[in-house]
Amino acid sequence: MRIAAPITLAFLLAACATTSPAERTIAVTGSIAYRERIALPPTAQIEVKLDDVSLADAPANTMATQAFASEGKQVPFAFSLTVDRADIDPRHSYAVSARITDAEGKLMFITDTRNAVTFDGRSAIDMGVLNLVKTN
């Protein structure tokens, strides 16, 4: 009996060590676009976030962020957010949001609807196209 416990423990530790990073993470992908026929300035900044939006009376907890400059490119912009499976609570609600600002940080476009993410055991979730709306 005393020999079996260390052997069992060794097998459990080996199993944990063989889990690849890809198996421990979930990729949330998609693209962002807007309907207006307006070109972005070359210095526009894009930010896409995955938030835990479970608490109604508290700020969202950001789980993953991707931010980059447009560098003169125009929509659609692809995004990919990676989150660790261990950080996902099946009792919580999650959503993706996006925004485009100019070089000075003035908001130009933003998502105005909730883009819910359902974590259901898949290793990749495609959100499709998230449509942003123009701000004033």
**For each of the chain's 136 residues, which pLDDT tens digit applies?**
555 555 555 555 555 555 566 689 999 999 999 999 999 999 999 999 999 999 989 999 999 999 999 999 999 999 999 999 999 999 999 999 999 999 999 999 999 999 999 999 999 999 999 999 999 8
Nearest to 25 by CA among 58, 63, 57: 63
CA of 76: how far to CAs of 5, 46, 54, 81, 124, in Å?
56, 11, 29, 16, 20
pLDDT number for residue 18: 55
pLDDT number for residue 20: 63
pLDDT number for residue 15: 52
The four Cα atoms 7, 16, 91, 87 give a dihedral, to 10 degrees, of 140
Nearest to 44 by CA among 105, 3, 95: 105
116-119 contact pairs (CB < 8 A, 24+) = 117/28, 117/50, 119/26, 119/88, 119/90, 119/94
Structure tokens at 135: 């701000």
Give per-residue burial for 11-21: e unless 16+ CB within 10 Å, then b. eeeeeeeeeee
pLDDT number for residue 37: 94
Predicted TM-score (pTM) of the model is: 0.82
Cβ(74)–Cβ(39) under 8 Å?
Answer: yes
